[in-house]
Amino acid sequence: VETTASGSTSSKVCTACGDENCDVCAASGANKCSKCKTTGKMYLKKEPDSDTGTCVNKAGCTGTNYIDEEAKTCSACASAGTTDCTTCEKGADGAVICKTCTTDGKTIFGLNKKSCVTECPDNASEKSGVCTCNDGFTPSIDSSTCVAASSCRTPHCQTCTGEGQENEACTACATGYYLTPTGQCVDSCEKLGGYYADNNVCQPCSPECASCTAAGADKCLSCPAGKALKYTDDTPANGGSCVDECKVNTGGYADCGATIGGSRYCSRCSTSSEYPVNGVCKASTARANECKTPDNKGGCTTCASGYFLLDGGCYETSRQPGSQVCTTDSNGQCSQCANTLSPSNGVCPACPAGCSKCSGSSGSQTCSACLAGYYLSTDKCVKCSENSNGIQGVPNCVSCAPPASSGPVTCYVTQTPTVDPTDPSTNKSGFSSGAIAGISVAVIAVVGGLVGFLCWWFVCYRKA
């Protein structure tokens, strides 16, 4: 029995998913599955503009769709950046390419097989049915045109100094790429951790932010451990400011039992008529669309649709801090964890240290993607400054990419002196808060000693 905000009661009934191959669903009926069962080689085929769909086998994933064995999905070719493919497939390198081209006279494979075309673009020619850029040109980032190739050895670098030499330094990247502080080119500044794109250059965020949209302490998208994001307005993409995390008996918080991304959030409010929503307390008049069943003790026991329950509070998947935990909710609970693990009774398990995405059961999990400051080595995440399986780390490196096989990592950002990039007390200057505090104490001691000496000298001089 469920108690509603008005005090009335209503029955709650568990209903089986409409698809026998569905493991998790948003509701009963067709096209409502969010995760298929692992048995029987089934794949989730989502409806257009929806997070749910139906479970199909390989025979049911045809036409302009392709199978992703890792994600266990049947996805549309166009969703992977291909254009006008008759059929497509996911290659060994992870890229989705056109498999056949027979539609509307577009019988030629475009650049990198990312499209089907009637003729090749300028500065390209057809070779064995595939468009290839002529000498001196290379495909653009979206594989639609051929752009002038650079003689710089740095990948995706357009202009550089010391061209082709050991001391080569990139000064500008090709269209679609951004210059890092170490002279490398990346397709997204976000992967550096704490940087944003500005005029094709990765610029550091304010020291107050963990990630951001632009310069300024009010442009944060996420916060370092110990801080919580306070949005500027109702549009999450605009970001906000990082404020102090939840503290017991401060600001109306009775309990701060929810921990997300190293920061504490409210799990119970001091006022019984208030409830935690997105980690902060809200009055009962404002939480009608969020907290579905109150516990009358300043917390929530069930959340409304569009939110998921976590440690006595209701969180949105589209806003911080909930988006760090869950990407899809169903009936007031998390149905798809942000780290790709399956929730247990609505609770998301944690990945190993350094992993942003992983798979497997507890104790035997393998990583598939890493947090900033780590690189993927086989199935684990290793710090950019450490060695692993023939890959050499770079000292003081806090953002990197591994080589194709062996050798040193490509370092995007360095920090001096050597510090732990995951340490929330680390500042952009490279000194930890502890180090800064030590320096401050030393300065105060020196100044105090100097003042004492001058006073002693002045007194002695007057006596003389």
Q: How far apart are CA 354 and CA 232, in angstroms?
A: 30
**What's the helix, strand, coil split of the chain in %, to 5?**
10, 40, 50
Q: Which residues pair with residue 172 across a beta bridge? A: 159
* 14 and 102 inside one domain: yes
Selection from 236, 226, 230, 202 nearest residue 217 by Cα? 230
Structurally, the chain folds into a number of domains equal to 3
State residue 269's pLDDT score: 94
* 320 and 275 inside one domain: yes
The answer to whether residue 175 is domain-embedded is no
The answer to whether residue 130 is domain-embedded is no
* 103 and 28 inside one domain: yes
How many other C-beta atoms can be found within 10 angstroms of the C-beta atom of residue 186?
Answer: 22
Last residue of a domain, one of 306, 328, 350: 350
* 362 and 260 inside one domain: no
* 279 and 293 inside one domain: yes
Question: 109 and 131 in contact (C-beta within 8 Å)?
Answer: yes
Last residue of a domain, one of 310, 335, 350: 350
The answer to whether residue 355 is domain-embedded is yes
The answer to whether residue 179 is domain-embedded is no
The answer to whether residue 241 is domain-embedded is no
* 313 and 400 inside one domain: no
Selection from 367, 366, 323, 370 nearest residue 193 by Cα? 370
In the chain, which stretches have pLDDT less than 50?
1-10, 287, 418-448, 450-451, 453-464
* 312 and 341 inside one domain: yes
One-letter amino acid at 436 equals I
* 425 and 381 inside one domain: yes
Spell 195-209 as b/e; 16+ CB within 10 A means b. bbbeebebbbbbebb
The answer to whether residue 238 is domain-embedded is no
Question: CA-based angle 363:73:404, to the nearest 5?
Answer: 65
State residue 451's pLDDT score: 44
* 274 and 360 inside one domain: no
The answer to whether residue 226 is domain-embedded is no
Determine the structural domain holding residue 366 and report its residue range.
351-430
* 381 and 280 inside one domain: no
Question: CA-based angle 97:102:108, to the nearest 5?
Answer: 60
Q: What are the E-state strand segments in 174-236?
A: 178-179, 185-186, 195-198, 201-204, 211-212, 220-222, 227-231
* 253 and 321 inside one domain: yes
Interval 281-293: pLDDT, tens: 887 665 457 888 8
DSSP H or E stretch at residue 434: helix 433-463
* 9 and 110 inside one domain: yes
Residue 456, SS3? helix
State residue 447's pLDDT score: 41
State residue 289's pLDDT score: 74
How many other C-beta atoms can be found within 10 angstroms of the C-beta atom of residue 328?
Answer: 18
State residue 450's pLDDT score: 45
Question: 154 and 161 in contact (C-beta within 8 Å)?
Answer: no
Q: Decide: residue 451, CB within 10 A, 0-12 exposed, 13-18 middle, 19+ buried.
A: exposed
Interval 88-126: pLDDT, tens: 998 877 889 999 998 889 999 999 999 999 999 999 999
Last residue of a domain, one of 116, 131, 153: 116
The answer to whether residue 172 is domain-embedded is no
Selection from 311, 228, 245, 317 nearest residue 275 by Cα? 311
